Chains A and B, each alone.
Chain A
Amino acid sequence: MNRNVILAIVGVLGAAFFIAVMLSFGNDPHAVPFMLEGKPAPAFSMKRLDADGTVNLADLKGKPVVLNFWATWCGPCAQEHPVLEWAAKKYGNDAVFIGVVFEDTEEATKKFLAQRGSSFQQLYDPQSTMAVDYGVTGVPETYFIDRNHVIVSKYAAPINMSTFDKHIAQILK
């Protein structure tokens, strides 16, 4: 093979490698992609922790839903809790607020809610099946689901008031 052709191929490969490296700059290598944005929210039917009965997503047809995955052993979740209490009081008539307890005990959760307040329903997901269905990568994570039950966005960190306002505005349209 002609020496120049081979050098050209090496040059193209080197340039492709360089571009691939450059494109990866600025990306967090630990960030886990979230693929359910814009997709239908997975169905669930979970036992309520704060009352009798179960909650089915299908029963909430036509209503926007805010889902928050959390745990009592998670420090950032405790930090976020007052924001969710505030949001449930502010937007509780416009959207359904649901907390989902992730990898925790019923006893610890009930104690936490009794001490810190519980303005919205809480579900118990003992084997984390619902969390896996939703692609949860850690807690806290808050999902914003519109009235057609499409996942509009997910916030994977302790949410603050202004961020909450921005996200919920998208599902109240």
Chain B
Amino acid sequence: MNLGLILLAAGLVTGQYAPQRQGTDPLDAEREARVHRLGKGLRCPMCQGQSIADSPAPAARAQLDKVRELVAAGRSDAEVESYFVDRYGEWALLKPKPQGSNLLLWLLPGMLLLAGLWIILTQVKRAPTPGAPSVSPPKADDDYLAQVRNDVDR
């Protein structure tokens, strides 16, 4: 059993966990689908790497409630996202917007991949044909080589 599990067990025994609460009442099917789509794109601050729609953490539930409140108030998708960006920065978005310095994140991998492909292709084109001698034949007038051959033949 690792340390994390021991600490978790100790926390549960001593009551060090947040009581689970129900989220606010769901909206109609169409708006609730929007709430979940928006929630899937927002990062949970207490559970790194998970969206607020997927996390069971209390903070995620509270944030999803806020998304529901904003959707119910008629806010657009961009307005809902900017509410969270205003508080947590672009960190809140699981998929950063392709603008400003974020463009580097979006373009660099593709450009490096293309550059790598280009290097590979140019190297393949320059590769010698199979069966061809890898070393150019010695020149006939190479005096040193001629001397060596004479010495070997002797």
Contact = CB atoms under 8 A, between A and B. Distances in A.
B137 interface: no
Contacts of A131: 59, 62
A71 B118 CA distance: 57
A103 B19 contact: yes
A10 interface: yes
Interface in A123-140: 126-129, 131-138
A32 B108 contact: no
Nearest to A20: B104
A131 B24 CA distance: 16
A103 B15 CA distance: 13
A135 B85 CA distance: 10
Nearest to A71: B18
A51 interface: no
A33 B48 contact: no
A132 B63 contact: yes
A32 B45 contact: yes
Contact of A73 (B15, B88, B115): B15
Contacts of A33: 88-89, 91
Contacts of A160: none
Contact of B86 (A10, A35, A104): A35
B65 A103 contact: no
B46 interface: yes
A67 interface: no
Interface string A2-41: 0100100110011011001000000000101111100100
Nearest to B63: A132
Q: Which among B16, B24, B63 has the highest number of chain A CB atoms within 10 Å?
A: B16
Contact of B115 (A13, A36, A135): A13
Nearest to B101: A20
Nearest to A10: B115
A170 interface: no
B115 A9 contact: yes
Nearest to B65: A127
A6 B114 CA distance: 11
B66 A16 contact: no
B126 to A, nearest CB: 11
A20 B112 CA distance: 14
Given A3-B122, A108-B19, A133-B87, 16 more contacts: A16-B108, A30-B48, A35-B87, A71-B18, A102-B18, A103-B18, A103-B21, A104-B19, A127-B62, A128-B62, A129-B65, A129-B66, A133-B66, A135-B87, A137-B88, A138-B46
Interface of B: 15-19, 21, 24, 45-46, 48, 58-59, 61-63, 65-66, 69, 85-89, 91, 104, 108, 111-112, 115, 118-119, 122
15 contacts: A9-B115, A13-B111, A14-B112, A17-B108, A32-B45, A34-B87, A36-B87, A73-B18, A75-B16, A103-B59, A127-B62, A129-B62, A129-B69, A132-B65, A133-B87
